[in-house]
Structure 1
Amino acid sequence: MEALKNLFNENFVKNFASCIKKYSSSFDEELYLYLVLKHLETLELKARMRLISSKIRSCLKADYGESCEILKLVKEDFFKEKTTSLQAMVLADFVEVYGLEHFDVSMNALETFTIDSSSEFAVREFILKDEQKAMDYFYKWAKNSNEHIRRLASEGCRPRLPWAIALPSFKKDPTLIFSILDELKNDESSYVRRSVANNLNDISKDNPILVLSFIEKNIGSNKQCDSLLKHAARTLLKKGDVKTLELFGYRKIDALILNDFILDSKVCIGEHLNFSFELENKTTLGLLRVEYEIDFQMANDKRSKKIYMISQSEVKANKKLINKKHSFKMITTRKYYLGIHFITLIVNGIKIQTKEFLLTKP
């Protein structure tokens, strides 16, 4: 797969500059290309985006408000169908860099630029500058007819948005967010509802009681909302929070029997760990959430645990056979260390049995 940074290449920069020149004869296209292209190839993704956006200001002979209007025209021309949504984020990045002292002009520009792209990163600087004023825009966006703008109302104020600056005040007290999430919880767009779920999941990491209260208030209203709430509760469910599990019908099965828990005694890096087991109950098993936790050997005798989902469904039989394999292929997000590892089976939040296996060299 080609690196995302290569979306911001010389050809993109030249076409982008040409489009700005189309709508502003005073734009110094030659200077812009010189300032950007002399450094572009040495930079990674976010730095490339910032370079492309930040050099507009010194080459576009217009005040900030006029510059935003020109870039709106560029958006409709160059970024409508010829590019990706990621590439279009250079417009919102321009606002983030230069727009904090022009609050209303900037927020209106971000509303436009988020369509077919996203202003979710840029808008956070404005929350930090003036939280209440920014949230007034968010409340308005939550009622917009465009799904991209409604999504921005939720996504932009996530307390822990990945790859973005955190919002410390919302991590401490997310009260202002809930009226937006309440407005959007039954949105017709799955794109928007997924953002609401992710926002709630963020909040649950710092304020689980508030999220549980939101779930209790809204669960059972309709299937779409229930699905949203379950996705929102994924961190709490993984933690085995008893109240959360019970809200979604996952209760401890008192007479649960584990049969034939079998796994490979060792596995090589690059291969799969195979394991299987059977769950049995005197009556039907009912709603089952089946997971497994791997306790990884790390460097310096430290350990790291991670939970993985197997299945979550209603089982109308009294037995369920499960065959599973876990990949130990090399990935960029985890480094594997040789030695003893442990795997634990989890049913409805209850850890039921642990076994060890050895991770070895190929």
Structure 2
Amino acid sequence: MGVMNELINAGTVRSLERILGAASPGRTFPGLAGTGGHLDPLSLRGRTDLLSRALLADLPEDYAGTAAIFRRALEDPDFTGWMIWPVTEAAVTLALTRADPGDFEDCLALLAELTPRLTGEFAIRRLLAADLDRALAVIQDWTSHPDWHVRRLASEGTRAYLPWAIRVPEITDRPAATLPILDALYRDPVEDVRRSVANHLNDLARHAPDEVVATAARWMAEPDGNTSKVVRHGLRTLLKKAHPGALELLGFPPASLAVTAPQLDRAVVELPGELAFTFAVSNTGPAEARLAVDYVVHYAKANGTRAEKVFKLGTAVLAPGESRTFSKRHAFRQMTTRVHHPGGHTLQLQVNGVRYPAEEFTVLT
């Protein structure tokens, strides 16, 4: 995270002080200037909060006055990048604490103006948490905005599990609330917007899988050239969880299959190391079978239990009576995102959502 932290540094502070000073002649920024020497021990989020507090101390106490300075600063092309994050947070704080009529909607408009310089998806979360319906009434209009950054903000900013962002419980409690936004954007001409829609749909699948599948089915009934890719990416978690509706929608209905147990190349894996395995799948039914082939690793946990993770292996089409052999090498190494513990592990195959007998192996650290 050290490199990420440096996205806001002493140079960022000096640039922001210069730009805002030019946008508000005669105003000084002692609080902002004083933050430069206090950044080193802080995370990127900590640096954002430090600069945001300094801006609130230096800028007008009313939202309208501060928003006017930020809008004038947009005339400077250097007003861009990670310096925008503390600016958006300061704007939202004023809009929510002063509570003057119209500040809430104007702050949303300001975020839309700023988001082409750096996404407003983090700051917008507090507005959503304060009044979800009021915010969504504005955000829905962004789905037809001429700037794709704003259209992406409509989808990304309202995700249930947006990385780095605060949670908005009402979004997870009301999964249908943001579906009109996705309905308006799933055929967007810009890939970054469509990718956001797919990730948003995947977030909703954690709490409303049947509603997500129904939504994806509606989209597949009125597709364009990119819809199938959006749907596949949006249903990826449901595919790993073998949701029957998701599998069938993507063309992997139940099939008559014979699947051999995985043949492991070793019984013990020493970290760092790899485990190679092979297996065969045969179509025993009378019709062609489309296969979504996955495998599941049941990892040993420190407390003696196991935690599973599904990995995609590939897809295949088998004619009646046809067999195919699959092979894979799976790496085991310590990572910040996954700590391996010594002990018994299991590798299991999953084809079209059906799991087959597993094989045991041991990991030594």
Fold conserved (TM > 0.5)? yes
Partner of 1:99: 95
Q: Is the Cα contact below 8 Å between 1:293 and 1:308 reproduced in 2?
A: yes
Q: Deviations over 1:242-267 (max 9, x none)?
A: 12211211123313343763332111
Q: Deviations over 1:230-285 (max 9, x none)?
A: 21111211111112211211123313343763332111112222222232335786
Q: Is the Cα contact below 8 Å between 1:218 and 1:225 reproduced in 2?
A: yes
Partner of 1:27: 27
Partner of 1:352: 356
Equivalent position to 1:339, from 336, 343, 346 = 343
Q: Which runs of 5 or more residues in structure 1 are unaligned?
A: none
Partner of 1:241: 243
Partner of 1:289: 292
Does residue 330 of structure 1 match 2:326? no
1:175 maps to amino acid: A
Quick one: percent identity of the two aligned structures? 28
CA RMSD of aligned residues (A): 2.3
Distance 1:87 1:296 in 2: 41
Residues 186-335 of structure 1 mapped to structure 2, 5 A cutoff: 186-222=187-223, 223-258=225-260, 261-281=263-283, 286-314=289-317, 318-335=322-339
What secondary structure, in the 3-state scheme, does the structure 1 residue paired with 2:303 have? helix
What secondary structure, in the 3-state scheme, does the structure 2 residue paired with 1:326 have? strand
Distance 1:113 1:315 in 2: 52
Q: Which runs of 5 or more residues in structure 2 are unaligned?
A: none
Compared CA separation, residues 313 and 65, structure 1 to 2 (3 A): farther
Partner of 1:77: 76
Distance 1:320 1:284 in 2: 16
Distance 2:197 2:155 in 1: 6
Give, in angstroms, the shift of residue 61 of structure 1.
4.8
Distance 2:292 2:140 in 1: 36
1:274 maps to amino acid: A
My pick for the range that moved more, 345-354 or 259-268, is 259-268
Distance 2:222 2:319 in 1: 25
Equivalent position to 1:88, from 84, 91, 106 = 84
Give, in angstroms, the shift of residue 320 of structure 1.
2.9
Compared CA separation, residues 88 and 285, structure 1 to 2 (3 A): farther
Distance 2:308 2:183 in 1: 34
Q: Is the Cα contact below 8 Å between 1:79 and 1:88 reproduced in 2?
A: no
Give, in angstroms, the shift of residue 342 of structure 1.
0.6
Distance 2:162 2:32 in 1: 32
Give, in angstroms, the shift of residue 211 of structure 1.
1.1
Distance 1:319 1:93 in 2: 58
2:295 maps to amino acid: Y
My pick for the range that moved more, 293-302 or 168-177, is 168-177
Q: Deviations over 1:6-44 (max 9, x none)?
A: 11111221122122222222332444211x124211211
2:304 maps to amino acid: D
Q: Is the Cα contact below 8 Å between 2:299 and 2:308 reproduced in 1?
A: yes
1:335 maps to amino acid: V
Compared CA separation, residues 280 and 327, structure 1 to 2 (3 A): same
Compared CA separation, residues 260 and 70, structure 1 to 2 (3 A): closer
My pick for the range that moved more, 66-75 or 331-340, is 66-75
Distance 1:276 1:94 in 2: 56
Partner of 2:42: 43
Give, in angstroms, the shift of residue 52 of structure 1.
1.4
Distance 2:131 2:262 in 1: 59
2:54 maps to amino acid: K
TM-score (norm 1): 0.90
Q: Deviations over 1:164-195 (max 9, x none)?
A: 22222221222331221111121111111111
Partner of 1:183: 184
Q: Is the Cα contact below 8 Å between 1:230 and 1:248 reproduced in 2?
A: yes
